Structure 1
Amino acid sequence: MRGAVLAAVALMTVGMLGAGKSDPLESRVAGTPVRCIDLQQLNGPEIVDSQTILYRQSGKRIWKTGPVGECPSLRPFDTLIVDVYGGQLCRNDRFRTVSVGMSIPSGYCRFRDFTPYDKVK
């Protein structure tokens, strides 16, 4: 079992694939999915759509994840509230969302594996 400390991390998210925006994964190659990622060097999250959440790592790598199954409350511009245990974010960790102007969070959803996308040289 991971660390005993439970922290809620709430970050404002930005939709990345709206009109006039480029695909953030364009010119990147997907690597092997992993179960957990280290939170210390990440920026994000960015909700792209109902199936895609991105975390950026030092400009070189982008981690792509999404919900296990359906998560109807996952929408661009919402705030993601993540239950973090220790210093890693892992598959099946829970998250909720809060819509702009609202104060009551959605029901829980869970993360899938995290896939690294690196720039093509």
Structure 2
Amino acid sequence: MFVGNAGKTRALRQKEMQMSRWIAPFVLFGLVAGAQAASAPRPTGEAKLQAMLKGYTVGATTSCVPLAPSMESTKIEGIGMVYKRGRTLYVNRFDRGCPSLDSFKSIVTRTPSTQLCRGDIARVVDFITGIEGGSCVFGDFTAYQKAK
């Protein structure tokens, strides 16, 4: 009886070794992929903005832009907002930046008119929890036209 148990234990160990040979490469791949993703540098807000502006030429600066349902908006982390209307981008760099505006937050604005203007205040809100986390002040808007 004792010899039979030793045989089962040896067979069980062999199966465990075979399974670990199959599992080890997957675990190793996951660790390497995770380390590469963690070490890959995230583009800065400035780099994202420069990428968005490729193919556009700088235009006039204005203190207000009209708000319209057809305008698209994109946040630039820590810097400001970009509003797109047709072939024009309106770039707004918040006065003194906006360090609390990151990938997990959005802005909420209240304006008494149909325009967004220099000096308007944007509240920074965590879009998951709804908790307010600071505010930012709009600066001037610079227009960029899409090159033809």
State the TM-score, normalized to the length of structure 2: 0.61
Residue identity opposite 1:26 in structure 2: K
C-alpha change, 1:45 and 1:76, in structure 2 (3 Å) is farther
C-alpha change, 1:67 and 1:42, in structure 2 (3 Å) is farther
Aligned residue runs from structure 1 range 37-116, under 5 A: 37-40=65-68, 42-58=70-86, 60-116=87-143
Q: Distance in 2 between matches of 1:114 and 1:56?
A: 12
Aligned residue runs from structure 1 range 5-44, under 5 A: 17=48, 23-40=51-68, 42-44=70-72
C-alpha change, 1:70 and 1:120, in structure 2 (3 Å) is closer
What does the per-residue CA deviation read over 1:53-72, in whole Å, with 9 as the maximum and x for residues that have no partner? 100102x0010002111422
| Structure with the largest fraction of strand | 1
Percent identical among aligned pairs is 27
What does the per-residue CA deviation read over 1:1-25, in whole Å, with 9 as the maximum and x for residues that have no partner? xxxxxxxxxxxxxx893xxxx8121
Q: Distance in 2 between matches of 1:87 and 1:42?
A: 13
State the TM-score, normalized to the length of structure 1: 0.74
Rg larger in structure: 2
Stretch of structure 1 that moved more, 99-108 or 60-69 = 99-108
Gaps of 5+ in 1: 1-14
Q: Which protein, 1 or 2, shows the higher relative CO under an 8 Å CA cutoff with sep ≥ 6?
A: 1
Residue identity opposite 1:82 in structure 2: T
| Structure with the largest fraction of helix | 2
Gaps of 5+ in 2: 1-44
What does the per-residue CA deviation read over 1:23-67, in whole Å, with 9 as the maximum and x for residues that have no partner? 121010111210000002652321122113100102x00100021
C-alpha change, 1:108 and 1:52, in structure 2 (3 Å) is closer
